[in-house]
Amino acid sequence: MSSARPAWRSRALAAGGSWCCAFFVGCGSTAVDPVELRRRYEDFESNAEDERLLNQVRVRFDREQPLPAPQALALEDVLLDVLRRHPCHLGVLRALLDVRRCGDLPNQRLEDLACQPCAPQVERYLEARTAADPVEARTHLDAALELDPDFPHARALRGLLELGSSEGRLGRAIRDLEAAQRSFPEDRELLRALAEAHERRLDPAGALPVYRELLQRDPADRDVRVNLGLALLALGEWREAEMEFRRVQSEDPARADAWHARGAAFVRGSQEREAERIYLAMLERFPADLEVHFSLGGLYFDGPLRDRARSERHYRAFLAALEANGASSPNHRAALTYLADIERDRGAR
């Protein structure tokens, strides 16, 4: 899965601080593109031997010839190995079902996916998913799990389906993904999906241990580190959050999201001067970043650095840049509201 698609985007925290400190304030839509989500789980690394065997079975199926048992067993071993590493790879799931159906295999290999009583339902799920029918796909996975509630592949697939659907039930997605992750503890992508489900449910407390586990496995993953900091910030742990953002900022100074998030952490901790220092430095380092003006407008709007004239200048610069670039921002409406307040106060004097 690509790690560059966090649901707690740091840009969302450009408005961080007392006027906007509630969890998840200011961020745009958190909808997950189902096509992108499927692509993440369909990608896997295969060696030359894997590819040779996969091509072999494709040729066999094209000719409508049954696979001899030795070849079917060899292919099944490869597919099961890949599936242990990538339990939600739809192509491998389908190939396993095809091998079991078309290959001359002994029935005692009960660890095989296709030996499960719910395998036909999973196969129908794959067909419905290929036809882009999430409602029918969900129906088949529900039926599969009625037959075997502990079937881990179906739990993983249903969790991903709920996460990727616009009508997804996030509570069920989390339960399914947690169950699947217990069955496949080494699968990092299931952990990422679980974190994303907590994010979309606006549950930073639930996402926090998942991020910690991901970082334990890969301490160099800066996207996860930023997300960990944002979850901490949402829970009020601004000092620890600031440390995470500072580490990312020092390792990769070109990451504007870490700068934004660090400024928001300082605002949350009532360290307005430190936040101002961060944001003013961003004006020079990231001149095309429109959200910096919004952050400075909020910083000067009220509080110890209150300066309504400077606040107005930055809000107007933010709105003018949006218009000039034909851009959109989740903070557009808030900027208009604050400007109206400034003008109303000026008229009252």
Query: Do residues 179 and 155 touch, judged by C-beta distance below 8 A?
Result: yes
Residue 300 tokens read as: 């000067």
Q: Which residues pair with 260 in a beta bridge?
A: none
Give the C-alpha separation, 156 to 93, whole Å.
12
User: Could you give phi then psi for residue 220, rounded to 5 degrees?
Assistant: -85, 0
Residues sharing a CB contact under 8 Å with residue 4, sequence separation 6 or more, in sequence order: 223
**In this structure, which topology does domain 25-200 adopt according to CATH?**
1.25.40
**Nearest-angstrom CA–CA distance, 172 and 237:** 28
Which is nearest to 331 in space by CA: 264, 239, 284?
A: 264
Tell me the CA distances in angstroms from 95 to 58, 82, 114, one per residue in order.
Answer: 9, 11, 10
| Residue with tokens 């620890």, as numbered in its chain | 240
Cα separation, 17 vs 262, whole angstroms:
11
Q: Mind listing the pLDDT tens digit for each residue in 125-143?
A: 666 665 567 777 788 888 8
Question: Would you state the pLDDT for residue 90?
Answer: 55
pLDDT in tens, the chain (349 residues): 333 333 333 333 433 432 222 222 222 223 333 344 334 334 434 444 555 555 555 555 544 455 566 666 666 666 666 666 665 565 666 666 666 555 555 443 434 454 455 666 676 666 666 556 777 778 888 888 887 787 787 888 888 888 877 666 899 999 999 998 888 887 787 898 899 999 988 999 999 999 999 999 999 999 999 999 999 999 999 999 999 999 999 999 999 999 999 999 999 999 999 999 999 999 999 999 999 999 999 999 999 999 999 999 999 999 999 999 888 899 999 999 999 999 998 877 6
pLDDT per residue as tens digits for the range 250-266: 999 999 999 999 999 99
pLDDT in tens, 314-329: 999 999 999 998 888 9
User: How is residue 20 written in tokens?
Assistant: 């906007």
Residue 334: half-sphere exposure toward Cβ, Cα within 13 Å? 24
The amino acid that residue 112 corresponds to is D
SS (H, E, C) the chain: CCCCCCCCCHHHHHHCCCCCCCCCCCCCCCCCCHHHHHHHHHCCCCCHHHHHHHHHHHHHHHCCCCECHHHHHHHHHHHHHHHHHCCCCHHHHHHHHHHHHHECCCCCCCCCHHHCCCHHHHHHHHHHHHCCCHHHHHHHHHHHHHHCCCCHHHHHHHHHHHHHCCCCCHHHHHHHHHHHHHHCCCCHHHHHHHHHHHHHCCCHHHHHHHHHHHHHHCCCCHHHHHHHHHHHHHCCCHHHHHHHHHHHHHHCCCCHHHHHHHHHHHHHCCCHHHHHHHHHHHHHHCCCCCHHHHHHHHHHHCCCCCCHHHHHHHHHHHHHHHHHHCCCCCCHHHHHHHHHHHHHHHHHC
